[in-house]
Amino acid sequence: MTGPFRKIISVLEGKTIAPPPIWLMRQAGRYLPEYRETRAKAGSFLDLCYSPDQAVEVTLQPIRRYGFDAAILFSDILVIPDALQRNVRFVQGEGPQMDPITVSDIERLKGDRVAGHLLPVIETVRRLRQELPEETTLLGFCGAPWTVATYMIAGHGTSDQAPARLFAYRNPAAFEKLLDFLADISAEYLIAQIDAGADAVQIFDSWAGVLGEAEFNAYAVKPVARMIRTVRTARPGAKIIAFAKGAGMNLRTYRQGTGADAIGLDWSVPLSFAVELQKEGPVQGNLDPMRVVAGGRALEEGIDAILQALGNGPLIFNLGHGITPEADPSHVTDLVRRVRGETG
């Protein structure tokens, strides 16, 4: 007996579906009035992430409104350092902050409390799979070791991740240990999400674009490959999307190097290059989020270009990064309808 047909899983298996399935990074978030209402009741942002009732609600909001082909767990990549007791907090107007990690801190890292700390997130996944329509893919996720490490080292976000790059050059052994540690606990986190009902998972490497070729291979490819091997050893059929934002030409070998089923493409990836990448397997992306803010002709032209270039191969339609708070919800309605061919 076969299970429900989920379009995104079919694409991850290498099939071409027309029109392509669609979901959007950060589809649950500040551009939606219903999200802002729930967020106001939650207390802190992390309280929202760790409240299964509220996290389920905000995950389902864009599914109710738009009928996307996938729901992505509402959480944050920084729940991992939070579980490691790095004093993570989200400061209004400044973004995430935490206690910067040192070489001696890395030597003392222990992951024994991580799984227990993240049980509310796993409960959210379990409830979501029960509440979502059967045909809707449930995506779990986590941050890639490099990206999570950049926040842990600097203690906050930076524009070029110079603190993490400098730390890696000065302390290569400690940095490698940190990446391996993050890879291992993140893989176990993904396995727990899959066991709770996630149909597929995405690994976000939001800061891959600041790395040179050698560093990309050492800090982005190697740790993610380690994660995917661990997940696949435990759950051989796991479907995994890897998104290395800003990786550019390094994407040529990213899929093969990591073992991911699909690779996410940011909006700076030329469609001519995306076509070449698609010959090797499924791709996801890559509309500029600013086209969603602009709406109208800019949005339509961006959608049409992607569908024309990539629509004849395995494609999951998405943005090239997360939807922004400035986006008009009606523009997202227009986007979904055009991708699905529901407009004249």
**Residues facing residue 281 across a β-bridge:** none
For 194-232, write each residue's pLDDT tens digit: 999 999 999 999 999 999 999 999 999 999 999 999 999
343 falls in which pLDDT band (50, 70, 90)? low
The answer to whether 8 and 57 have CB atoms below 8 angstroms apart is: no
| Three-state secondary-structure class, residue 90 | strand
For the chain, how many structural domains are there in total?
1
| Model pLDDT for residues 39-70, shown as the tens digit of each residue | 999 989 999 999 999 999 999 999 999 999 99
Q: Is 26 a catalytic residue?
A: yes
Residue 90 CA to its chain's centroid (Å): 19
Q: Which domain holds residue 273?
A: 7-339
Catalytic residue list contains 266: no
Residue 2 has pLDDT above 70, yes or no: no
Average pLDDT estimate for 302-318: 98
pLDDT at 4 (0 to 100): 83
Global pTM value: 0.97
Catalytic: which of 31, 50, 66, 151?
151
Instruction: Establish if 1 belongs to a structural domain.
Output: no
- The answer to whether residue 66 is catalytic is no
Pick from 86, 84, 138, 88: nearest CA to 115 = 84
In a domain, 344, yes or no: no
Kindly name the residue from 6, 50, 76, 266 that is annotated as catalytic: 76
Look at residue 2 and tell me if it is in a domain: no
DSSP letters spanning 114-136: HHHHTHHHHHHHHHHHHHS-TTS
- Domain assignment present for residue 219? The answer is yes
Percent of the chain surpassing pLDDT 90: 95
Of the residues 30, 126, 232, 252, only one is catalytic, namely: 30
Band of residue 148 on the pLDDT scale cut at 50, 70, 90? very high
What residue spans of 85-118 are helical by DSSP H? 103-107, 114-117
First to last CA, the chain: 39
Q: According to DSSP H, which parts of the chain are helical?
A: 7-12, 33-42, 45-49, 52-66, 79-83, 103-107, 114-117, 119-131, 145-154, 162-170, 172-196, 213-215, 222-234, 254-258, 271-278, 289-294, 296-310, 329-339
Residue 330 lies in a domain: yes
10 Å Cβ neighbour count for 39?
Answer: 18
Inside any domain, residue 225: yes
- Calpha distance 157→152 (Å, rounded): 9
In a domain, residue 239? The reply is yes
Examine the residue annotation and report whether 39 is marked as an active-site residue of this protein.
yes
Catalytic residue among 6, 31, 35, 39: 39
Among 324, 146, 335, CA closest to 242: 146
pLDDT for 182 beyond 90? yes
Mean model confidence pLDDT for the chain: 96
Q: Which pLDDT belongs to residue 1?
A: 43
Identify the pLDDT of residue 95.
Answer: 85
- 36 in any annotated domain: yes
- Per-residue pLDDT, 93: 80
* CATH value at residue 81: 3.20.20.210
CA dist., res. 51 & res. 251, Å (int)? 36
Q: Is 89 a catalytic residue?
A: no
pLDDT mean over 263-275: 98
pLDDT at 287: 98
